[in-house]
Amino acid sequence: MGILVDVNLKEKDGKNYLEIVTEAYPYPISFRGKYYQRSGATNQELKGAALDRFLLRKQGRTWDSVPVPYLKWQELDNVTLDQFRSYAKKSGRMDETDLLDNTQELLDKLRLFESNYLKRAAALLFHPDPEKYITGAFIKIGYFKADADLIYQDEIHGNLFQQVQSTLNLISTKYLRATISYEGIQRVETLPIPREALREALLNAVVHKSYESLTPIQIAIYDDKLEIWNCGTLPEEWSIDTLLGKHRSRPYNPDIANVFFRAGEIEAWGRGVERIIVACKKAGYPEPKFKYDGGSLWTIFTFKYQETTRKRPENDQMSQQEIMIINLIKTTPYISRKELATQLKIHDSSIKRRLATLQEKSIIRRVGPDKGGYWEIIN
């Protein structure tokens, strides 16, 4: 069994017996082809994802470092790879000459190859459809009036870079009610939670998720709060108090974390939770709550709606759909009408009418041709 024990010969009531003394052992043990781990006063057999984690740890490996035999680098999304190059150049966390390498060489520099095979991390980060190789690698969003009263929902698919950006845009435009005020003639929209804090929480979820659970990240939104839930396992001996205090960086998926770090999307010093809290405090919002139950992590934001200091002019009444369109244009000026319709799940003809109305109100304008041009917000 691989355990060293003390064996003592003892006597009681005139009879000899053997005393076997074992020290507390922090790792699982194998017995007759099965693995067991001590939990309280009982031995628990390791199965499923827990057994996978243990066997990988014995080899000094992590789940995201396992190779995918049939995945070819030619299948990866060139748009996302170019986006990564742009982010990494801006962050200064990679040598610019490395960013000029072809895709295969770049992936090798990012340590996403195991011998001649791409790792699971590469599929999640850059494949247009990672669910082809990893079940449950997507995000579910739902709006609830009560815990069991689902009003509407969406699913966000694609690679991890696409998921983070699309989820952030969709939540900001469709699910959160912005407070609208005016500074002079300038329209100001304020979300009930800081956008930067939401972005950090999403990045935390996708980087540290236990993808072997085969379940999607789930985001539940209510009238007064937003909850992000994902399967995740903290390092042994860690608790929520560890996360909230100063701690070293120990990402659950190191290869995924490395690429997001090179892109300037996250830090490498275990400051993700701290950055979420700081973003909320800086903007004057309540601190989020964090929960952990041994296999799942929750980040819970309580909403704060700002009081408006001036009403919207009567001739500038806008529908919720128009507000959602404006918010998407703010973050993605080159977005097409078709892409607006897809992201907002609104018919193309309705998008066309809304865009025309916003142009008539001199709120937005089109710069350049339909193909290759972009949207500009006037006020």
**Statement to judge: residues 166 and 251 lie in one domain:** yes
Q: Is pLDDT of 26 > 80?
A: no
Contacts of 180 (CB under 8 A, 6+ apart): 187, 188, 189, 190, 308, 312, 323
**Statement to judge: residues 285 and 157 lie in one domain:** yes
Give whichever of 37-41, 309-313, 357-361 has the largest mean pLDDT.
357-361
**Statement to judge: residues 187 and 274 lie in one domain:** yes
What was the pLDDT predicted at 312?
43
Q: Is pLDDT of 72 > 90?
A: yes
* Length in residues, the chain: 379
Could you tell me if residue 252 is inside a domain?
Answer: yes
What was the pLDDT predicted at 365?
87
Across the chain, mean pLDDT equals 85
What was the pLDDT predicted at 377?
83
Res. 51 pLDDT band, cuts 50 70 90 = low
Query: What is the residue-wise DSSP string for 167-226?
Result: HHHHIIIIIS--EEEEETTEEEEE-SS-HHHHHHHHHHHHHH--GGG---EEEEE-SSEE
**Statement to judge: residues 366 and 279 lie in one domain:** no
- The rounded distance, in Å, linking the Cα atoms of 267 and 257 is 9
Could you tell me if residue 149 is inside a domain?
Answer: yes
Mean pLDDT, range 354-369, rounded to an integer: 86
* Domain end (from 132, 153, 186): 132
What was the pLDDT predicted at 204?
94
What was the pLDDT predicted at 316?
47
Could you tell me if residue 179 is inside a domain?
Answer: yes
Res. 2 pLDDT band, cuts 50 70 90 = low
Q: Is pLDDT of 267 > 50?
A: yes
Structure tokens at 102: 């072809």
Q: Would you tell me how many other CB atoms lie within 10 Å of the CB of residue 347?
A: 10
What was the pLDDT predicted at 27?
55
**Statement to judge: residues 258 and 323 lie in one domain:** no
What was the pLDDT predicted at 374?
85
Q: Is pLDDT of 1 > 60?
A: no
Q: Is pLDDT of 303 > 80?
A: yes
> 277: closest CA among 301, 304, 261, 294?
301
**Statement to judge: residues 296 and 190 lie in one domain:** yes
**Statement to judge: residues 38 and 87 lie in one domain:** no
DSSP lists the bridge partners of residue 221 as 143, 226
**Statement to judge: residues 295 and 166 lie in one domain:** yes
Mean pLDDT, range 64-80, rounded to an integer: 94
Using one digit for the tens of pLDDT, what is the confidence trace for 311-351? Answer: 444 444 567 788 888 888 887 888 888 888 888 888 888 88
Say if residues 357 and 346 touch (Cβ distance below 8 Å): no
**Statement to judge: residues 298 and 180 lie in one domain:** yes
Say if residues 141 and 153 touch (Cβ distance below 8 Å): yes
Say if residues 112 and 119 touch (Cβ distance below 8 Å): yes
What was the pLDDT predicted at 177?
84
CA distances from 290 to 19, 273, 286, 343, 362 (A): 46, 9, 13, 29, 43
Res. 159 pLDDT band, cuts 50 70 90 = very high
**Statement to judge: residues 145 and 290 lie in one domain:** yes
Q: Which domain holds residue 15?
A: 6-46
> 304: closest CA among 167, 178, 173?
178
- The rounded distance, in Å, linking the Cα atoms of 78 and 302 is 38
Tell me the one-letter amino acid at 195.
R
Q: What percent of the chain lies above the pLDDT cut of 70?
A: 84
Res. 372 pLDDT band, cuts 50 70 90 = confident
Say if residues 128 and 83 touch (Cβ distance below 8 Å): no
Q: Is pLDDT of 95 > 70?
A: yes
What was the pLDDT predicted at 313?
42
- The rounded distance, in Å, linking the Cα atoms of 134 and 132 is 6
Using one digit for the tens of pLDDT, what is the confidence trace for 119-142? Answer: 999 999 999 999 999 999 999 999
**Statement to judge: residues 162 and 279 lie in one domain:** yes
Q: E-assigned strands of the chain?
A: 6-12, 15-21, 29-31, 34-39, 42-45, 113-114, 117-118, 139-146, 149-156, 179-183, 186-190, 217-221, 225-231, 289-292, 296-302, 364-367, 374-377
Q: 49-63, 189-203, 233-247: which range is least confident on average?
A: 49-63
Q: Is pLDDT of 309 > 50?
A: no
Structure tokens at 206: 């996708």
Could you tell me if residue 307 is inside a domain?
Answer: no
Say if residues 329 and 169 touch (Cβ distance below 8 Å): no
Q: Would you tell me how many other CB atoms lie within 10 Å of the CB of residue 115?
A: 5
**CATH value at residue 351:** 1.10.10.10
* Domain end (from 239, 268, 302): 302
**Statement to judge: residues 35 and 119 lie in one domain:** no
Contacts of 36 (CB under 8 A, 6+ apart): 28, 29, 30, 43, 44, 45, 46
**CATH value at residue 205:** 3.30.565.60
Q: What percent of the chain lies above the pLDDT cut of 90?
A: 46
Contacts of 343 (CB under 8 A, 6+ apart): 166, 169, 170, 173, 328, 335
Q: Specify the higher pLDDT residue, 195 or 51.
A: 195
What was the pLDDT predicted at 314?
43
Count of the separate structural domains present in the chain: 4
Mean pLDDT, range 185-200, rounded to an integer: 85
CA distances from 143 to 224, 229, 342 (A): 11, 14, 19
Could you tell me if residue 338 is inside a domain?
Answer: yes
Could you tell me if residue 16 is inside a domain?
Answer: yes
